[in-house]
């Protein structure tokens, strides 16, 4: 009888693991999710709300795909993991056996314990259920305040803006997403978001949320004493791993589920991947928890190898991520720190219309390329990865930007501007 692999969580990490285990073995596979029966593209939730697509359009696989590939699906909430008996207990009381368990439970909105955070009209935006609640709340929203300036925050702002909702975003830093973006880019993105009709209140933090007699939010108060009237508050101050159900399981947790380089927990035959996994020894310049799609997919591929008796270490390589700030596409490769250390230099270029920008960081002593952020410019991942692996020098990167760029029109129009800016800043001829 084949071994039974149970995967809790049907996001990109869990589903990738299931697909690759099936590719390499005939093990019995069961995917359990409380959120939805079928895997869907989480990044597409905003487009459902904006009317660009329906939920069924967000499913990357036809419903018959799972039966065809002998992957069982169960929509249920797991309340308890018993690692001694190798069993799971659902909220309905059903017991499920496993031989190997993969925890891919994702993350949830990180509420920080503010007064009033449980009022009606206060929510995050991570899950399908959050989207459904937002649709319900949207029936009466006229003024929204979003707490936090990150990728979820700007998505929520754009979504509400399409419904003619007045939106203000509170950010702690001077500049949007200033904890991640260097100063120039944070200000560049702030201006772009404001140009789209969104108010950004910089260097402003939430103190409390005030409700009316019907337990509905009516305003927020900032730490400097300002009261802002609103009928909706979006909490976008980050996410945290879904691990509460593991409290007495014996599986070691910190902020997330602790794993080694093979994505193994402290318990034999139990693994963790994706948003819920916390690396005990992350690679240099990588975080211990990385709640992004690309990481989830890579972890899913890696753990499948180990499950199928080809023990493989998770080797994420160079950091990469992408997103959109309204119309501006954002990509980041390698290491670009918000606050560069003393030994790190920076080259920044922005076009005259404030629609495109490039920020490169490098080692000052020998000008070794460390990483690049691009805005409004699409780069080729494999090319940048090669540059990082080769430890190319700054001057060579500037001279080879055409090779990495998807858009030939950009190369013709802006390449000389970038090179001229570089020559002015560094007194070098390319």
pLDDT score of 222 more than 70: yes
pLDDT score of 119 more than 80: yes
Each residue's pLDDT tens digit, 84-98:
999 999 999 999 999
Element (H, E) at 420: helix 408-426
Of the chain, the percentage scoring pLDDT greater than 70 comes to 98
User: What integer best gives the mean pLDDT of the chain?
Assistant: 96
Of the chain, the percentage scoring pLDDT greater than 90 comes to 93
Tell me what the mean pLDDT of segment 314-329 comes to.
Answer: 96
The C-alpha atoms of residue 182 and residue 188 are separated, in whole angstroms, by 10
Higher-scoring residue by pLDDT: 57, 408? 57
Is the torsion defined by CA of 405, 407, 408, 412 positive or negative?
negative
Each residue's pLDDT tens digit, 183-196:
999 999 999 999 99
Give 413's pLDDT tier (boundaries 50, 70, 90).
Answer: confident
How many angstroms separate the first and last alpha carbons of the chain?
Answer: 66
Angle at 392 between CA 390 and CA 395, to 5 degrees: 165
Domains of the chain with CATH codes: 4-108+240-308 (3.50.50.60), 122-237 (3.50.50.60), 320-427 (3.30.390.30)
Alpha helices, DSSP H, located in 50-204: 64-68, 128-137, 151-161, 183-195
pTM: 0.95
Is the torsion defined by CA of 418, 424, 426, 428 positive or negative?
positive
Between 12-24 and 293-307, two packed helices, what is the crossing angle to 10 degrees? 30
**pLDDT on residue 428:** 73
Tell me what the mean pLDDT of segment 374-388 comes to.
Answer: 96
Contacts 24+ apart (CB under 8 A), 373-376: 373/181, 373/182, 373/185, 373/330, 373/331, 373/332, 373/336, 374/329, 374/330, 374/331, 374/332, 375/185, 375/188, 375/189, 375/325, 375/328, 375/329, 375/330, 376/328, 376/329, 376/351
pLDDT score of 411 more than 70: no
Q: Which of 137-141, 161-165, 213-217 has the lowest mean pLDDT?
A: 137-141
């Amino acid at each position: 009888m084949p071994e039974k692999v149970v995967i809790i969580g049907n996001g990109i990490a869990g589903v990738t693991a299931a697909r690759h285990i099936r590719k390499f073995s005939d093990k019995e596979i069961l995917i359990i999710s409380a959120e939805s029966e079928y895997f869907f593209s989480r990044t597409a939730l905003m487009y459902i709300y904006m009317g660009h697509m329906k939920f069924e359009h967000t499913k990357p696989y036809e419903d018959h795909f799972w039966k065809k590939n002998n992957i069982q699906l169960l929509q249920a909430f797991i309340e308890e993991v018993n690692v001694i008996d190798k069993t799971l207990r659902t909220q309905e009381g059903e017991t499920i056996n496993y031989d190997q368990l993969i925890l891919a439970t994702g993350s949830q909105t990180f509420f920080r314990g503010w007064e009033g955070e449980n009022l009606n009209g206060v929510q995050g935006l991570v899950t399908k259920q959050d989207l459904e609640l937002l649709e319900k709340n949207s029936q009466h929203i006229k003024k929204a305040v979003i707490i936090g300036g990150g990728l979820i925050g700007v998505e929520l702002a754009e979504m509400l803006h399409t419904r003619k909702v007045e939106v203000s975003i509170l950010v702690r830093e001077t500049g949007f997403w200033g904890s991640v973006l260097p100063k120039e880019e944070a200000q560049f993105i702030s201006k772009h978001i404001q140009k789209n009709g969104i108010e950004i209140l910089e260097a402003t933090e939430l103190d409390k949320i005030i409700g009316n007699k019907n337990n509905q939010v009516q305003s927020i108060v900032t730490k400097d004493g300002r009261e802002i009237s609103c009928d909706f508050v979006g909490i976008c101050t980050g996410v945290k791993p879904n691990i509460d159900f593991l409290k007495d399981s014996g599986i070691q947790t910190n902020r997330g589920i602790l794993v080694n380089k093979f994505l193994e927990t402290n318990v034999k035959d139990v693994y963790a991947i994706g948003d819920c996994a916390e690396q005990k020894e992350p690679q240099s310049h990588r975080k211990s928890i990385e709640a992004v799609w690309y990481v989830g997919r890579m972890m899913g591929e890696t753990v499948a190898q180990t499950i199928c008796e080809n023990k493989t270490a998770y080797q994420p390589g160079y950091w990469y991520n992408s997103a959109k700030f309204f119309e501006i596409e954002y990509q980041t490769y390698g290491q670009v720190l918000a606050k560069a250390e003393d030994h790190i230099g920076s080259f920044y270029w922005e076009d005259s219309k404030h629609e495109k920008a490039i920020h490169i960081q490098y080692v000052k002593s020998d000008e070794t390329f460390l990483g690049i952020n691009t805005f409004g410019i699409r780069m080729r991942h494999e090319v940048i990865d090669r540059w990082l692996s080769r430890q190319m020098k700054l001057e060579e990167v500037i001279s080879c930007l055409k090779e990495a760029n998807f858009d030939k029109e950009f190369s013709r129009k802006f390449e000389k501007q970038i090179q001229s800016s570089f020559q002015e800043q560094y007194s070098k001829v390319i």
